[in-house]
Amino acid sequence: MALKHIVFDCDGVLWQGTNESYFKCYHQAALEAGIELDFELARQRILQNWGQSVQLEVTGMLPDHLELVPEVVRHYDRLVRSDFFLDSASLVPEVSQTLEKLWRHYALSAITGMNAENVKEMFTRFGLRQFFRHALSTAETDDLAKQKCTGYHLGQLLEWEQLAPAEVLCVGDAATDVQMAGCQRVPIVVVLTGHLTAAQARGLGVRQIISSVADLPSWLGITAPKRPS
> What residues does each domain of the chain span?
5-16+90-220, 18-86
Q: Are 204 and 198 in contact (CB under 8 A)?
A: no
Specify the pLDDT at position 61.
98
Name the pLDDT band for 211 (thresholds 50, 70, 90): very high
Specify the pLDDT at position 10.
97
d(CA 199, CA 124): 34
Specify the pLDDT at position 51.
86
Fold of 5-16+90-220: Rossmann fold (3.40.50)
Per-residue DSSP letter, 31: H
Give CA 186 to chain center in angstroms: 16
- Asked if residue 228 has pLDDT above 60, the reply is no
Per-residue DSSP letter, 154: H
Using one digit for the tens of pLDDT, what is the confidence trace for 53-94? 999 999 999 999 999 999 999 999 999 999 999 999 999 999
Q: Are 202 and 80 in contact (CB under 8 A)?
A: no
- Asked if residue 229 has pLDDT above 60, the reply is no
Using one digit for the tens of pLDDT, what is the confidence trace for 150-195? 999 999 999 999 999 999 999 999 999 999 999 999 999 999 999 9
Question: Which residues have CB under 8 Å from 50's CB, separation 6+?
Answer: 57, 113, 174, 175, 176, 195
Mean pLDDT of the chain: 95
- Give the pTM: 0.90
Specify the pLDDT at position 65.
97
Name the pLDDT band for 1 (thresholds 50, 70, 90): confident
